[in-house]
């Protein structure tokens, strides 16, 4: 008898609602009620949509979600909370998860509802499913690209390497970062060869 599959649900593949999206599209402006639609797509193909209504006028602000799941109409509210920024400038919005009551900035749709990621068991991020060797090789490739980006900055048009006969701070800083990236890359390549 074959072993049952053990593929975990990946957070990376799930539909999400995030505070950053709501902020970007003006749903969290003070003292307003705004409604709209969030749609998801993969390679231009629509994979789903939900109606949302944000209310920041209320004493207890909320986001109302309305959508169909398996031909069943789902309609519920997620409380919002605004916390003063630790920088003293403005406020930071959070969801209060209806399941866990945890503060969060992103809600995930698994099964029927949008909840905080800790409300679900057996879910993982894609990176967690990769082998150690694959994660390490990805890190190595990222280091290569980082070094290339630094070198590109160094040779950009109108980049000043010197001012009044002395190297500029930006040039010295970039050089230092390139040298560090080079050392890390050499070290990681040696470790990767050993594995």
pLDDT band, residue 5 (cuts 50/70/90): low
pTM: 0.66
* Residue 32 belongs to some domain of the structure: yes
Domain that holds residue 173: 130-194
Is 71 in the same domain as 90? yes
Reading the block at residue 20, the tokens are 């950053």
140: exposed, middle or buried (Cβ count in 10 Å: 0-12, 13-18, 19+): middle
Is 19 in the same domain as 59? yes
* Phi, psi for 191 (deg, rounded to 5): -65, -40
Backbone angle region of 111, left / alpha / beta, with phi > 0 → left and psi within -120 to 50 → alpha: left
Is 93 in the same domain as 165? no
Is 57 in the same domain as 82? yes
* Residue 3 belongs to some domain of the structure: no
Q: How many CB atoms lie within 10 A of CB 35?
A: 12
Domain count, the chain: 2
Which range among 83-92, 99-108, 154-163, 169-178 has the greatest average pLDDT? 99-108
* Residue 146 belongs to some domain of the structure: yes
For the segment 80-88, the average pLDDT, to the nearest whole number, is 87
The arrangement of strands across the sheet holding 113-115 comes to 16-18, 106-110, 113-115
CA distance 15 to 11: 9
- Does residue 123 register a pLDDT over 90? no
CA distance 42 to 15: 11
Residue (of 101, 102, 61, 93) closest to 79 by Cα position: 61
Is 152 in the same domain as 177? yes
Give the 3-state secondary structure of residue 135: helix
Which range among 9-13, 35-39, 41-45, 84-88 has the greatest average pLDDT? 35-39
Is 113 in the same domain as 171? no
């Amino acid at each position: 008898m074959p072993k049952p599959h053990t593929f975990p649900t990946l957070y990376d593949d799930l539909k999400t609602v995030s505070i950053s999206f709501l902020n970007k599209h003006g749903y969290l402006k003070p003292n307003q009620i705004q409604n709209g639609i969030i749609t998801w797509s993969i390679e231009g193909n629509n994979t789903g949509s939900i109606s949302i209504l944000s209310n920041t006028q209320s004493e207890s602000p909320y986001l109302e979600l309305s959508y169909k799941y398996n031909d069943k109409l789902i309609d519920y509210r997620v409380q919002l909370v605004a916390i003063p920024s630790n920088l003293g400038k403005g406020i930071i919005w959070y969801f209060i998860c209806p399941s866990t009551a945890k503060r969060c900035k992103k809600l995930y749709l698994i099964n029927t509802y949008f909840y905080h990621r800790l409300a679900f068991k057996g879910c993982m991020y894609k990176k967690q499913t990769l082998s150690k060797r694959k994660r390490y090789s990805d890190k190595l490739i990222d280091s290569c690209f980082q070094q290339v980006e630094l070198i590109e900055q160094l040779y950009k048009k109108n980049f000043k390497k010197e001012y009044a006969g002395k190297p500029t701070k930006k040039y010295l800083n970039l050089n230092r970062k390139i040298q560090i990236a080079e050392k890390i890359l050499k070290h990681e390549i040696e470790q990767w060869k050993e594995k």
